Amino acid sequence: MAVKMARRMAELRASEIREILKLTQRPEVISFAGGLPAAETFPAEDIAGVTTKVLSEDGPRALQYSPTEGFPPLRQAIADRMNAKLGTAVDSSEILITSGSQQGLDFTGKILLDPGDVVLCESPTYLGAINAFKAYEPQFVEIETDDDGMVVSDLERRLSGIPNARFIYVIPDFQNPSGNTWSLERRKGVMDLARRFEVPVIEDSPYAEVRFEGQSVPPLKSLEGNEWVVFLGTFSKVFCPGLRLGWLSAAPELFQKYVFVKQAADLHTSTLGQMQLAGYLETYGLDRNIQGVIDLYRSRRDVMLRTMEAEFPDGITWTRPEGGMFLWITLPESLNAREILELCLVEDVAFVPGGAFFPNGGHENTLRMNYSTSSTERIEEGVKRMAKVLRQAIE
Q: What is the pLDDT of residues 184-243, one digit of tens each?
A: 999 999 999 999 999 999 999 999 999 999 999 999 999 999 999 999 999 999 999 999
Cα distance between residue 255 and residue 219, in whole Å? 19
Classify the phi-psi angles of 320: left when phi > 0, otherwise alpha if psi is within -120 to 50, otherwise beta.
beta
Over 70: is that where the pLDDT of 19 sits?
no
Over 70: is that where the pLDDT of 318 sits?
yes
Q: What is the pLDDT of residues 162-186, one digit of tens each?
A: 999 999 999 999 999 999 999 999 9
Predicted TM-score (pTM) of the model is 0.95
**Three-state SS at 191:** helix
Q: Using alpha carbons, list the distances in angstroms from residue 294 to 77, 83, 203, 337.
A: 22, 21, 22, 29
pLDDT score of 8: 72
pLDDT score of 34: 86
Neighbours of 136 (CB within 10 A): 21
Cα distance between residue 219 and residue 88, in whole Å? 8
CA 360 to chain centre: 19
In degrees and rounded to multiples of 5, residue 275 shows phi and psi of -70, -35
Q: Using alpha carbons, list the distances in angstroms from residue 379 to 78, 235, 311.
A: 34, 25, 12
**Mean of per-residue pLDDT scores for the chain:** 95
Q: What is the pLDDT of residues 234-254, one digit of tens each?
A: 999 999 999 999 999 999 999
Task: Confirm if 360 and 124 have CB atoms less than 8 A apart.
Answer: no
Task: Confirm if 269 and 244 have CB atoms less than 8 A apart.
Answer: yes
pLDDT score of 255: 98
Element (H, E) at 139: strand 139-143
44-284: which CATH topology?
Aspartate Aminotransferase; domain 2 (3.40.640)
Neighbours of 391 (CB within 10 A): 13
Task: Confirm if 108 and 202 have CB atoms less than 8 A apart.
Answer: yes
What average pLDDT does this structure show over 28-33?
A: 93
The CATH code for residues 10-41+288-394 is 3.90.1150.10
What average pLDDT does this structure show over 33-53?
A: 95
Cα distance between residue 124 and residue 143, in whole Å? 9
Over 90: is that where the pLDDT of 20 sits?
no
- Name the β-bridge partners of 167: 119
Element (H, E) at 158: helix 152-161
What average pLDDT does this structure show over 342-364?
A: 96
Q: What is the pLDDT of residues 74-95, one digit of tens each?
A: 999 999 999 999 999 999 999 9
Over 70: is that where the pLDDT of 341 sits?
yes
Structural domain spans, the chain: 10-41+288-394, 44-284
Describe the crossing of helices 337-346 and 376-394 by its angle, rounded to 10 degrees: 120
